[in-house]
A and B are shown apart, each in its own frame.
Chain A
Amino acid sequence: EPEVTQTPSHQVTQMGQEVILRCVPISNHLYFYWYRQILGQKVEFLVSFYNNEISEKSEIFDDQFSVERPDGSNFTLKIRSTKLEDSAMYFCASSDPGAREAFFGQGTRLTVV
């Protein structure tokens, strides 16, 4: 069964450092998303990406964040200068344009120290 894969599963970084979280969406999907979940809170939408550009973003997705699809398979989220409050689980998801369901990867747990 096709699935969304994310790497790494856990990343620890120092405050102020840049991190790149990686995702390989399901191969025939065309919509890609990043969500985050701070421990004990709800899953929050960050950004959606379609046709090589951002289609929608939330107020959380400020100038510190960027997304990229550097090749035909990877989808990345970059945080330029991490803050302690960026510590969270980051989920990548993808969906087929013919359906609205999104399928999630297992997440990357980011810990900023």
Chain B
Amino acid sequence: RKEVEQDPGPFNVPEGATVAFNCTYSNSASQSFFWYRQDCRKEPKLLMSVYSSGNEDGRFTAQLNRASQYISLLIRDSKLSDSATYLCVAPPGNTPLVFGKGTRLSVIA
């Protein structure tokens, strides 16, 4: 099943730039939303959980638009270390997390 759709990228941005990713989800029953980041050959790591309209953590802001069924992730003041693949997940009900291919970000010096 394809629960989410993301632009695979890559997004190549200079250090200090602001970058935004969108993710659309297909199942209106989804109540929990997550952004994970995955570095090359590493495990997915939870970046942010989104349970209501949005969440902010430092340079990262996630927003949820239930009417249009999309979640966005905004990264301000990009660092080289932000280079990774960003995965959104929108599990309906109690189903396990299902990942798409994610969006690749490269922050360039």
Interface residues of A (CB under 8 A from B): 33, 35, 41-45, 48, 56, 89, 91, 93, 99-107
Contact = CB atoms under 8 A, between A and B. Distances in A.
Contact of B32 (A41, A43, A100, A105): A100
Contact of A101 (B43, B46, B87): B46
Contacts of A43: 38, 44, 87, 99
Contacts of A41: 101
B54 interface: no
B34 A100 contact: yes
Contact of B43 (A42, A48, A99, A107): A107
Contact size range, B: 20 to 34
Contacts, number: 46
A56 B95 contact: yes
Contacts of B32: 100
Contacts of A48: 96
A102 B101 CA distance: 18
B44 A45 contact: no
Contacts of A100: 32, 34, 49, 91, 94, 97
